[in-house]
């Protein structure tokens, strides 16, 4: 489903938004300036409560989080961020103690920088974390899962879980493409024309060709113990067929 506001790609650091949660204005200004030089957008929270609110409303790509802040400290903010999701967090603190680093990492921080720090090094760490987390999300995007199906788009392999056992059916290129499309949107009904355009090799022009490939795919899934999938929807097309 298309978003009303198109957010920039995670893999273009120049478009990433960094939330700086820091109660010392001078430090925040320096970080904003250095990040801007690297074409990174910034927002500033002067205390922990504001950081929690801005994280919720702005949905930043990464948070630079000071530990010692008024209203809510960095540990409380980090706990709330982790409760909400997996936004990358780099902790900033004057406490250069191994125990504090361990606490931060165990609570889910992605990196840790002790004050006084070199602002250029902080920018480099921000860029490194953005690359690392962006690559991880890109790998996740290569995996589709719905019901008993797990589709690896990179290796072009399908695994099917049936009664606790995992099976890897041998699918043709077209059968794989059809199943991947259905798994990507398991509740949606795809018309034959859509499936023909997106899944079959160039040169196929008859929508009924889809029926033949779906029939073969269905037989292979039935041999594994999955019956009636994909489901034909009269006068419309096909959907994966998961129970509501």
Whether 158 and 169 have beta carbons less than 8 Å apart is answered as yes
The pLDDT tens digits of the residues spanning 176-200 come to: 999 999 998 888 899 988 888 778 7
The pLDDT tens digits of the residues spanning 54-100 come to: 999 998 999 999 988 999 998 999 999 998 888 999 998 876 666 66
Report if residue 3 sits inside a domain.
Answer: no
What's CA 17's distance to the chain center, in Å? 16
Q: Which of 96, 120, 139 is the last residue of a domain?
A: 139
Phi, psi of 143 (to 5 degrees): -115, 125
For the chain, percent of residues with pLDDT exceeding 70? 84
Report if residue 4 sits inside a domain.
Answer: no
More confident residue, 7 or 235: 235
Q: Report the number of distinct structural domains present in the chain.
A: 2
Q: Which of 90, 108, 139 is the last residue of a domain?
A: 139
The pLDDT tens digits of the residues spanning 150-168 come to: 998 878 899 999 988 899 9
Q: What is the CATH number of the domain that holds 163?
A: 1.10.10.10
Average pLDDT over residues 138-158: 82
pLDDT at 9 over 80: no
Q: How far is residue 160's CA from residue 188's CA, in Å, rounded to a whole number?
A: 20
Report if residue 244 sits inside a domain.
Answer: no
* Averaged pLDDT score across all residues of the chain: 84
Closest CA to 137 of 129, 148, 127, 147: 129
Residue range(s) defining the domain that contains residue 118: 13-139
Q: What is the CATH number of the domain that holds 79?
A: 3.40.50.2300
Closest CA to 11 of 160, 138, 109: 138
pLDDT at 1 over 60: no
Token pair for 42? 């910034």
Please count the other Cβ atoms lying within 10 Å of the Cβ belonging to residue 154: 9
Q: Which of 122, 139, 156 is the last residue of a domain?
A: 139
Report if residue 1 sits inside a domain.
Answer: no
């Amino acid at each position: 489903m298309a978003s009303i506001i198109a957010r920039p790609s995670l893999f273009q650091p120049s478009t990433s938004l960094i939330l700086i949660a820091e109660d010392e204005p001078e430090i925040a200004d320096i970080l904003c300036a250095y990040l801007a030089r690297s074409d990174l957008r910034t927002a500033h929270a002067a205390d922990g409560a504001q950081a929690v609110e801005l994280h919720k409303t702005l949905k930043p790509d990464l948070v630079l989080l000071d530990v010692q802040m008024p209203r809510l400290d960095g540990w409380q903010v980090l706990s709330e961020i982790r409760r909400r999701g997996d936004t990358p967090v780099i902790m900033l603190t004057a406490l250069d103690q191994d125990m504090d680093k361990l606490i931060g990492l165990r609570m889910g921080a992605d990196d840790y920088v002790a004050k006084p720090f070199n602002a250029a090094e902080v920018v480099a760490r921000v860029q490194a974390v953005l690359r690392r987390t962006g690559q991880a999300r890109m790998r996740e995007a290569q995996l589709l899962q719905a019901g008993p199906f797990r589709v690896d788009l990179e290796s072009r392999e399908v695994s099917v879980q049936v009664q606790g056992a995992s099976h890897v059916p041998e699918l043709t290129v077209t059968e794989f493409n059809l199943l991947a499309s259905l798994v990507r949107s398991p509740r949606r009904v795809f018309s034959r024309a859509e499936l023909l355009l997106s899944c079959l090799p160039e040169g196929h022009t008859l929508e009924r060709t889809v029926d033949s490939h779906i029939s073969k795919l269905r037989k292979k899934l039935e041999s594994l113990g999955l019956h009636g999938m994909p489901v034909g929807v009269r006068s419309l097309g096909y959907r994966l067929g998961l129970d509501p």
